[in-house]
Amino acid sequence: MKVVWLYSKKSKAQAIMIDFFFAIIILVFLIELYFSGWGRSVLGIGLKEQKNEMEILALQITDMFVKSPGVPSDWNQTNVLAIGLAQEDHILDTDKVNKFTNLSVDKTKQLLGISDLNFYFKLDYVQGDNIKEYGSVPVNSEEIVLIRRLVFYEEKKAFMEMYLWK
């Protein structure tokens, strides 16, 4: 009895090459999938780290505002070295708040060390009445940071808010 082969040696080699190319395509796809996921992870970590740094900076700025009278303690627009708004701890000085909101935005950014960031300062009584606003209004950004502090202003409770964003 004679056995007839349906495939010749040449067609077996072609089948092996086709399998090899499919395996290569799958391997390239898996490598691409891995590296694209890795790239997104690295980018996400970088954005999270950047936001954490902005939160720390905003906390430091608001601490300086609510705990320090500034440098010098009787600062004005021409001699200010460090902005502080406190008359006492968490009690804001009305005169210093007015001086602060009358500074130029560029000078304020320079004094706060945030020349590459945008900021918005807002002071409202707890009941909701607006007291002061200063800086540029926040834009819709994923990288925006808000720090809100409870303070006393003119012997009433108020919220001081500081927004930072890129």
Residue 113: closest CA among 64, 48, 45: 64
DSSP state, residue 116: T
Residue 51 backbone phi and psi in degrees, to 5: -65, -40
Which tokens go with 79?
């001699």
3 state SS of 125: strand
How many residues comprise the chain?
166
Break the chain into its structural domains and give their ranges. 10-165
CA distance linking residue 14 with residue 20, whole number of Å = 10
Question: Which residue(s) pair with 164 in the sheet?
Answer: 119, 145
The per-residue pLDDT for range 98-148, each reduced to its tens digit, is 999 999 999 999 999 999 999 999 999 999 999 999 999 887 777 899 999
pLDDT at 3 over 90: no
The chain-wide mean pLDDT, for the chain, equals: 87
pLDDT, tens digit, 9 for 90 and up, residues 5-28: 555 555 555 667 777 778 888 888
